[in-house]
Amino acid sequence: MGRTVAEKIIRTHLVEGEMRRGERIALRMDQTLTQDATGTLAYLEFEAMGVARVRTERSVSYVDHNMIQGDYRNPDDHRYLQDVAARHGSIFSPPGNGICHQLHVERFAEPGKTLIGSDSHTPTSSAVGMLAIGAGGLDVALAMAGEPFCLPMPALLGVRLVGTLQPFVSAKDVILEVLRHTDVNGGVGKIIEYFGPGVKNLSVPDRATITNMGAETGATSSVFPSDEVTRRWLRSQGRESSWVELSADDDARYDEIIDIDLSELEPMVAQPFQPGKVVRVSALEGMAIDQVMFGSCTNSSLRDLLSIGHLLDGQKIASSVDAGISPGSRQVLLEATERGALSKMIRAGVRLLEVSCGACIGMGFAPPTEGVSLRTINRNFLGRCGHKTGKVYLVSPEVAAASAVTGVLTDPRAFARDRGLEPFRFSMPETFLIDDGLFEAPSPEPETIVIRRGPNIAPLPEMKAMEATVRGEVLLKVGDDITTDHIMPAGAKILPLRSNIPAIAEHVFEVVDASFPARAKEAGSGFVVGGANYGQGSSREHAAIAPRYLGVRAVIVKSFARIHLANLVNFGILPLTFVDESDYDGIDQGDHLSLETEHLLAGGAFIIRNETKDRPIACKTPLGQEDLDVVKAGGKLNYVKERLAVPSF
């Protein structure tokens, strides 16, 4: 039987297991990436494993998230990451070099290879036909230590593309259309693979926008074939030698297929507070806006900046709108400057923000109270832009640019028609302005590197093994689609605490119930109850470690998002689902529950007692035996430490 691109890459990296849907497989990881907001913990965990040098083909440590250096904390973290990379064998990308995903696609992504990254948008690199997967920091640290990455063999969701995008409709509209089909959980347990005659009409930056935001469907990864378009991209990045051709066989089998005719797509918009709340721009046209943010790892390629420059040429940003841009990388910024796109934006009145994630993660540039913010980013979760009343709408660079000028949500096709604008066409440069000067290679004399740790870098808290009886109160009951931005918010105030678990734990569930940390600490041990798709969004393992630190022992929900489920296991929180979902209604916040650990079985149902209501609740765990053993041991670090230890220098 024929194979898809993803299956071909999985087959060549399979270390354990059979490629049968849902069966546990272990994959060799060729490359890793980390970013500073998750990287400090990932490297602390790597250090705790006692492995002297990374055992991958390539590991890159990027600094792109925590860029507001309001005090010593973020710069201390950056310096720690610089030292630890030099000592342990990773390439270091300092602040100012660019956003990890944009840079990885430019400089390191390779067709046919595997990549695991401590950021949920790591699949961006799958735009060149690699299998790139987002994961928690501990799983990335293990991959750096040479361990394979384990996951259930995903199902394959094929997206057949035909046609060509019409002027002023772009790749963001494609992925928003996919999200209209899948919503925010339709990709869970699946790899999305793009095929069909329309694929060749999308450039690598277009593909990267699509694979990037595939994360919002819950998918494990989103993959494009490696074709002549890929080869052209690699050539213009001076890396043609890493090109291999990779496409699905004609008789490859997908578990389900979505058909999209690119020629028929229209500009789309995702409404607050979920990337799956997608409608056509025409449905909301004329809505007044307060802010426009261009950038993020979804839409800050050279192609996007040139398109924005094209629309803003000779225009003025509306006086009611505050507009800013964060270019995706130094290469993009230099190219956009050389080609005049930047000056078109600046003349129009756009603020130049830093080359970083920036406002995407609430690092400055928040909207006003109740403000409507149009952003080219990938997530619009409650509170993510800096506060709860801001309303973020996710759009393409073209919709953002046209609306910034008119001050209301605008269809860029009508905007261009009214102004007699020619369609924008992106021609790939023969060679980009390649300058790897800021990347730092690992030290040739690692034993001489002294790792500097600032006072904010606290040791990882110890996790105890699970008790025979787990007893406690339901500390919080929440609904469906709870994101890691609800559980462990980000933003300029909280992000500097990423390397200090006791300090960051004070903010757990802040946007839902600010009394949570105090109540959890007082109770000493407890449960969280939730609905479907619990933990969607980011890869931040802080959303597991910090609740665990506060005493959360188990989470009982209708279903889990993939990365958060793995993070719960890694830090010893027992993930449970209801056998009968209607039992969700029979538990209230404040109820006291108990469970006997000896009754826990992989795959089997067992009973938890609701002591307050004196009734049983049938639950099961989505885990296999090994993961269950990890939870019982108090987390993966305890579980694997012994097995991995090798003398460090």
If residue 294 lies in a helix (H) or strand (E), which one and from where to where?
strand 291-295
370 and 339 in contact (C-beta within 8 Å)? no
Q: Does 357 bind ligand SF4 (CB under 6 A)?
A: yes
**What are the beta bridge partners of residue 352?**
325
Work out how close the CB of 236 gets to ligand SF4 at its nearest, in angstroms, rounded to a whole number.
23
193 and 248 in contact (C-beta within 8 Å)? yes
Q: Which does 377 bind (CB under 5 to 8 A by kind): ligand MIC, ligand SF4, none?
A: ligand SF4
Q: Which does 211 bind (CB under 5 to 8 A by kind): ligand MIC, ligand SF4, none?
A: none
574 and 553 in contact (C-beta within 8 Å)? yes
Q: CA 302 → CA 121, 320, 421, 531, distances in Å?
A: 19, 27, 20, 40
Q: Does 539 bind ligand MIC (CB under 6 A)?
A: yes
Q: Does 142 bind ligand SF4 (CB under 6 A)?
A: no
Starting at the edge strand found earlier in the chain, the sheet holding 372-375 runs 278-280, 268-270, 391-394, 372-375, 291-295, 322-326, 351-352
CB atoms within 10 A of CB 444: 7
DSSP 346-378: HHHT-EE--SSSGGGGTSS----TT-EEEESSS
Work out which of 85, 361, 374, 460 binds ligand SF4, going by CB under 6 A. 361
Residue with tokens 């290679």: 441
Find the part of the chain contacting ligand SF4 (CB under 6 A) among 183-191, 353-361, 551-559, 636-644. 353-361
Residue with tokens 């994630």: 357
| Six-digit token string for 523 | 């109770």
Phi and psi at 275, nearest 5°, equal -65, -10
Q: Show the beta-strand stretches assigned E in 399-478.
A: 469-477
Q: Which does 99 bind (CB under 5 to 8 A by kind): ligand MIC, ligand SF4, none?
A: ligand SF4
DSSP 28-49: --SEEEEEHHHHHHHHHHHHHT
C-alpha 644, offset from chain centre: 28
Q: Does 392 bind ligand SF4 (CB under 6 A)?
A: no
Residue with tokens 């309303």: 391
Work out how close the CB of 37 gets to ligand MIC at its nearest, in angstroms, rounded to a whole number.
3
- Encoded one letter per residue, x for contact with ligand SF4 by CB under 6 A and - for no contact, window 174-193 reads --------------------
Work out how close the CB of 155 gets to ligand MIC at its nearest, in angstroms, rounded to a whole number.
23
**What are the beta bridge partners of residue 472?**
593
Q: Which of positions 59-88 make contact with ligand MIC (CB under 6 A)?
A: 65
Q: Exposed, middle or buried, 533 (CB in 10 Å: 0-12/13-18/19+)?
A: buried
Find the part of the chain contacting ligand MIC (CB under 6 A) among 46-54, 77-85, 189-197, 537-545. 537-545
Q: Does 121 bind ligand MIC (CB under 6 A)?
A: yes
CB atoms within 10 A of CB 50: 13
Work out how close the CB of 381 gets to ligand MIC at its nearest, in angstroms, rounded to a whole number.
8
Work out which of 67, 99, 341, 482 binds ligand SF4, going by CB under 6 A. 99
Work out how close the CB of 101 gets to ligand SF4 at its nearest, in angstroms, rounded to a whole number.
6
Q: Where are the alpha helices (DSSP H) in 269-356?
A: 302-312, 330-338, 341-348
Work out how close the CB of 263 gets to ligand MIC at its nearest, in angstroms, rounded to a whole number.
31
Residue length of the chain: 649
616 and 587 in contact (C-beta within 8 Å)? no
Q: Show the beta-strand stretches assigned E in 422-565.
A: 469-477, 526-529, 552-557
Q: Which of positions 30-49 make contact with ligand MIC (CB under 6 A)?
A: 37-38
**What are the beta bridge partners of residue 618?**
607
Q: Which does 540 bind (CB under 5 to 8 A by kind): ligand SF4, ligand MIC, none?
A: ligand MIC
User: CA 92, CA 61: separation in Å to the nearest integer?
Assistant: 5
| Six-digit token string for 181 | 């089909």
Work out which of 128, 191, 248, 297 binds ligand SF4, going by CB under 6 A. 297
Q: Does 350 bind ligand MIC (CB under 6 A)?
A: no
Using CB under 6 A as the binding criterion, the count of chain residues that bind ligand MIC stands at 12
Query: Quick one: 495 or 619, whose CB is closer to ligand SF4?
Result: 495
Work out which of 150, 332, 336, 361 binds ligand MIC, going by CB under 6 A. 361
Q: Does 562 bind ligand MIC (CB under 6 A)?
A: no
Query: Quick one: 51 or 392, whose CB is closer to ligand MIC?
Result: 392
Work out how close the CB of 512 gets to ligand MIC at its nearest, in angstroms, rounded to a whole number.
17
3-state secondary structure of 32: strand
Q: Does 97 bind ligand MIC (CB under 6 A)?
A: no
Q: Which does 553 bind (CB under 5 to 8 A by kind): ligand SF4, ligand MIC, none?
A: none
Q: Does 492 bind ligand SF4 (CB under 6 A)?
A: no
126 and 211 in contact (C-beta within 8 Å)? yes
Q: Show the beta-strand stretches assigned E in 210-287.
A: 221-223, 256-261, 268-270, 278-280
Find the part of the chain contacting ligand MIC (CB under 6 A) among 117-125, 306-314, 572-580, 601-609. 117-125
Pairing of strands 592-596, 469-477: antiparallel
Q: Which does 205 bind (CB under 5 to 8 A by kind): ligand MIC, ligand SF4, none?
A: none
Find the part of the chain contacting ligand SF4 (CB under 6 A) among 187-195, 355-363, 432-440, 561-569. 355-363
Query: Quick one: 119 or 290, whose CB is closer to ligand MIC?
Result: 119
Work out how close the CB of 38 gets to ligand MIC at its nearest, in angstroms, rounded to a whole number.
4
Q: Does 497 bind ligand MIC (CB under 6 A)?
A: no
Q: Which does 38 bind (CB under 5 to 8 A by kind): ligand MIC, ligand SF4, none?
A: ligand MIC
Work out how close the CB of 261 gets to ligand MIC at its nearest, in angstroms, rounded to a whole number.
30
Work out which of 45, 83, 119, 473 binds ligand SF4, going by CB under 6 A. 119
Q: Does 490 bind ligand MIC (CB under 6 A)?
A: yes
* Angle at 310 (CA atoms; ends 308, 311), nearest 5 degrees: 70
Q: Show the beta-strand stretches assigned E in 119-189.
A: 131-134, 149-152, 155-162
Residues that bind ligand MIC (CB under 6 A): 37-38, 65, 119-121, 361, 490, 537-540
Residues that bind ligand SF4 (CB under 6 A): 65, 99, 119, 121, 296-297, 357, 360-361, 377-378
